[in-house]
Amino acid sequence: MTDQHPLTSKICEEIAPWPVRHPAAYDCMRAAADWELERAINWWKIAFNTGSLPSYLVDSIIENFKNAMRPTITQESN
In a domain, 2, yes or no: no
Length of the chain: 78
In a domain, 48, yes or no: yes
In a domain, 63, yes or no: yes
Which pLDDT score is estimated for 17? 86
Total of domains in the chain: 1
Q: What is the pLDDT of residues 13-41, one digit of tens each?
A: 899 888 888 889 999 999 999 999 999 98
In a domain, 19, yes or no: yes
In a domain, 62, yes or no: yes
Higher-pLDDT residue of 42 and 52 is: 42
In a domain, 28, yes or no: yes
Residue 63 belongs to domain spanning:
9-77
In a domain, 3, yes or no: no
64-76 b/e (C-beta count within 10 Å ≥ 16 → b): eeeeeeeeeeeee
In a domain, 69, yes or no: yes
* Summary mean pLDDT of the chain: 82
